[in-house]
């Protein structure tokens, strides 16, 4: 690290759990974010600010006026622009040292497995079950840590899956089918700060995984009710019969 980096990240480096060694791990890390919307925006912004060295973002959508209520990486002048380009511009303003790879595409098939294989941590910030199950399959096969978040209405949830470590369950252990595709923000609505809360926790969990500090959310599902501001924790176990990670 140079002097500017030591100054920029000084408030993190002074934490004994982080120190210079932890900050260097962040600088050397590569994170893959799938989705540049309500969850991907705050997650990417905090990871860039914290000094994650490489951030790759996939999204095939463009910025729409209805996005601006919660997708804070974009502003009014970005309407019509590719979300990944808008996000790249925002992250570069926050921290020009971070390498941001913006990919306008739906991440799937062999490309998905290739990107997951080269990432240290994957953040699932997508908004549909088909993509979530595909990301989970790739992470299980490549044994890449996955931080999965979701937000709708006043509700949020987040968990971490670490294939091959601590007998971790996978996303398919939690959800058994790829139904309920109508459960999205466009049809059900979402209050803006919920996406910020969950996306920020995704960033925190990713940083903890990279630095190997604290206790991550493997084996736990956090559920947030924003109306009552109550958190619930559900314990998750690996399903031996899971079609993705179970014993065969």
* 121 SS3 class: strand
**Catalytic-role residue among 125, 170, 185, 242:** 185
CB 136 within 8 A of CB 90: no
CB 94 within 8 A of CB 45: yes
139 is a catalytic site residue: no
Count Cβ atoms within 10 A of the Cβ of residue 197 and give its class: 0-12 exposed, 13-18 middle, 19 or more buried. Answer: middle
CB 39 within 8 A of CB 132: no
The CA distance from 91 to 102, in Å, is 11
User: Of 212, 216, 215, 202, whose CA–CA distance to 47 is shortest?
Assistant: 202
Q: Which residues does the annotation mark as catalytic?
A: 185
């Amino acid at each position: 690290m140079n002097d500017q980096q030591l100054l920029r990240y000084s408030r993190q480096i002074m934490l004994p759990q982080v120190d210079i060694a932890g900050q260097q791990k962040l600088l050397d890390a590569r994170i893959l974010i799938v989705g540049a919307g309500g969850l991907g925006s705050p997650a990417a912004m905090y990871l860039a600010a914290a000094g994650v060295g490489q951030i790759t973002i996939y999204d095939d959508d463009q910025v729409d006026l209805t996005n601006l209520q919660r997708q804070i990486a974009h502003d009014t002048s970005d309407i019509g622009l590719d979300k990944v380009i808008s996000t790249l511009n925002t992250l570069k303003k926050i921290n020009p040292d971070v390498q941001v790879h913006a990919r306008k595409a739906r991440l799937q098939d062999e490309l998905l497995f290739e990107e997951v294989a080269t990432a240290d941590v994957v953040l699932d910030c997508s908004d549909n079950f088909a993509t979530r199950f595909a990301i989970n399959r790739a992470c299980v096969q490549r044994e890449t840590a996955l931080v999965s978040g979701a937000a709708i209405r006043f509700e949020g949830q987040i968990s971490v899956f670490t294939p091959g470590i601590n007998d971790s369950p996978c996303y398919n252990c939690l959800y058994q089918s790829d139904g309920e595709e109508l459960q999205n923000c466009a049809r059900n609505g979402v209050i803006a700060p919920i996406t910020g809360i969950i996306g920020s926790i995704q960033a925190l969990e990713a940083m903890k995984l990279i630095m190997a500090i604290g206790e991550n959310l493997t084996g736990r599902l956090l559920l947030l009710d924003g109306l009552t501001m109550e958190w619930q924790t559900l314990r998750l176990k690996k399903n031996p019969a899971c079609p993705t990670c179970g014993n065969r």
